[in-house]
Amino acid sequence: MATTPNRVAMLSVHTSPLHQPGTGDAGGMNVYIVELSKRLAAQGTEVEIFTRATSSDLPPLVELAPGVLVRHVTAGPYEGLVKEDLPGQLCAFAHGVLRTEAGHRRGWYDVVHSHYWLSGQVGWLAADRWGVPLVHTMHTMAKVKNAALAEGDCPEPAARIIGESQVVEASHRLIANTREEAEQLALHYGARSEQLAVVHPGVNLEVFRPATATPTGAVGDAVSHIRARLGLPRDAVVLLFAGRIQPLKAPDVLLHAVGLLLEEDPHLRDRLVVPVVGGPSGSGTAEPEALQKLAAALGISDVVRFQPPVGQRELADWYRAATALVMPSHSESFGLVALEAQACGTPVVAAAVGGLPVAVRDGETGFLVRGHDPRDWARVLRRYVDRPGLAERQGRAAARHAAAFGWDTAARATAEVYRESAWSLQRAAVASAS
């Protein structure tokens, strides 16, 4: 195998990199796959992303970027399947992947990189068939999610836990977002130390960057223009939630905290705005209006603004317009939106779970909150009301912190994992032959 892999088969069964993040099953993993693939291609490794076709109108092949192709694989009916139905379609999906490779010369793919356990099941078969290494990224783990289950959320099924265990055993390398995630893979799934590699995700620093001063004014004027364009008051305290609306992400904790703030200080009602940018996902689709009903029940509908998911460039403006991004999640493998907001010069108030303590520097680029008691969240959020310069000071530190997480760095580290896994597979083959 060449020093740098020539071509990677990237597997994303349940969600397409072409889908809009923030709704359905599209989220941080979609952003991860798109950005990583683009940077790998720019560094000399071609990427072909296999994903399930969800419409008969989709072309079999789409060029996402130079050196990055998206292949739509027919596996089951195009519409009406939820993620929980997909294990029954993995055989059909694997058939499509193997048939694609069979149309090329032998050795077309150098590495299989699967994302989420469903893709890992297919990757296990493909890598074994092609004699190449399987590199897998979990993104989330059933045992970890079940240990921190949100109220009203459904536990992950035993079938997923079994499937994840099989993928861990079959993988040559497991890429973890943080050292804590690597430790969880070892603790809960028996991952071996030689399998584990820690690669922090990145952020698109070209899209997500602080507001720049206008030709005739200061940075504050630029933020005011952005707020005006988004319909936000110039002097408001803007507490932003951005992401999929589901119990796991805990937007209800933010709303309860805002209710407490207004109860303690009714005068804040004229100064506080809480945009919720995203769409229902996962178990949140069972009652898509639940968050609106909660806002009404708490008497805060006048300060909460529900916005549909938006593209990355508009999302960057929401970050720039915010006083702080609020992430009360019960579980996060990393929390890419925390990096995106900080790259835009916006502090983050996040739950001290998963990779968020890596993404956010407590007290410097935002605050970490332990637990999900709305009273604790209200106390922390109140600081941005009482200390007007806090958001600006933390925002500057946040932008410096996020600048160290470029996708180019993540892509180079990932390519190194590919090289190491291929080398170890070759050594094992030589040892076996002798």
The 10s digit of each residue's pLDDT in 384-414 is 999 989 999 999 999 999 999 999 999 999 9
* Domain formed by 219-402, architecture: 3-Layer(aba) Sandwich (3.40)
Q: What's the whole-number mean pLDDT along residues 87-100?
A: 96
Q: From the annotation, which residues make up the binding site for 1D-myo-inositol 3-phosphate?
A: 14, 25-30, 83, 116, 140, 160
DSSP three-state, residue 71: strand
Show me where the domains of the chain are located. 7-202+407-433, 219-402
Rounded-to-integer distance, Cα 197 and Cα 414, Å = 9
**In the predicted model, is pLDDT for residue 214 greater than 80?**
no
Q: From the annotation, which residues make up the binding site for Mg(2+)?
A: 319-320, 322, 346
* Domain formed by 7-202+407-433, architecture: 3-Layer(aba) Sandwich (3.40)
Q: What's the whole-number mean pLDDT along residues 374-389?
A: 96
Residue for token pair 């109220």:
151
pLDDT tens for each residue of 288-330 = 689 999 999 999 999 999 999 999 999 999 999 999 999 999 9
Residue for token pair 């921190």:
148
115 DSSP 8-state letter: E
Helices (H), ranges, 214-250? 219-230
* Domains 7-202+407-433 and 219-402 are alike in CATH topology: yes
**In the predicted model, is pLDDT for residue 263 greater than 60?**
yes
Categorize the per-residue pLDDT at 279 as very low, low, confident or very high, splitting at 50, 70 and 90: confident
Q: From the annotation, which residues make up the binding site?
A: 14, 20-21, 25-30, 83, 116, 140, 160, 244, 249, 310, 319-320, 322, 332, 340, 346
Burial per residue of 306-327, b for 16 or more beta-carbon CB atoms within 10 angstroms, e otherwise: bbebbeeeebbbbbbbbbbbbb
Cα 356 to the chain's mean position, in Å?
12
In 3D, which of 109, 126, 108 has the Cα closest to residue 167?
Answer: 126
Q: From the annotation, which residues make up the binding site for UDP-N-acetyl-alpha-D-glucosamine?
A: 20-21, 28, 244, 249, 310, 332, 340
